[in-house]
Amino acid sequence: MGNLKTCKLLVHNFKTLTGIAILSFVLVSCGYRFGEAPIPCQYATISVPYIINDSDGYLTQSVIRAISERQGPRYSQCTGDLILKVEIIDLCEENIGFRYDRNRKNKLTRTIIPTEGRAIAIVEVELIDALRSATILGPVRITETLDYDHDYYESRGGVNVLSLGQVTDYESARDAVQRPLYRCLANKIIEYVYESW
């Protein structure tokens, strides 16, 4: 009698697991993933017009790459079912780390100079159904920040001195952080778009 109950329980568990596996396969084949609500299957493609105020085109490139790396609607250059409009609202930086400067004899002075900065990018995102010309998501503002180091120190002749592990010139450091900042921002934009359904 005990063996019969065990057999029935095993068969029931097997049927349940098989049902879950089939349901999972059906959902995944349509682009659905557990833990998030993806873009519905009716939208097969997504277009990204050139991002407003993206002077070097790197944010546009990063957004397209982020779309290509995800499941769901594939990128289409100009005829997407969806149109992702993005505008760079603000790019700024703030100093978040400081140190006391040193004089020519390497003694501390009372002057404080910045040694660490934070780059901040703010964009406005809107997702549009191309067929109906209707806004589906947004407009919403998304912010991303990235911290970076720099050594704001000049030699007697005005030529910047290199420091191990740090970018010496403040402007060079700020320019160098822009690409990684845009990559992080692009991933955040696509995460918002793909998970807001």
Q: How far apart are CA 18 and CA 36, in angstroms?
A: 23
Mean pLDDT confidence for 148-171:
53
Mean pLDDT confidence for 21-47:
63
Q: What are phi and psi of 21, to 5 degrees?
A: -65, -40
pLDDT at residue 155, as a whole number: 39
pLDDT at residue 24, as a whole number: 64
Q: What is the band of 150 on the pLDDT scale with cuts at 50, 70, 90?
A: confident
Q: DSSP code of 154?
A: B
Whether residue 111 is predicted with pLDDT greater than 60 in this model: the reply is: yes
Instruction: Determine the angle formed by the axes of helices 170-195 and 58-68, rounding to 10 degrees.
Output: 40
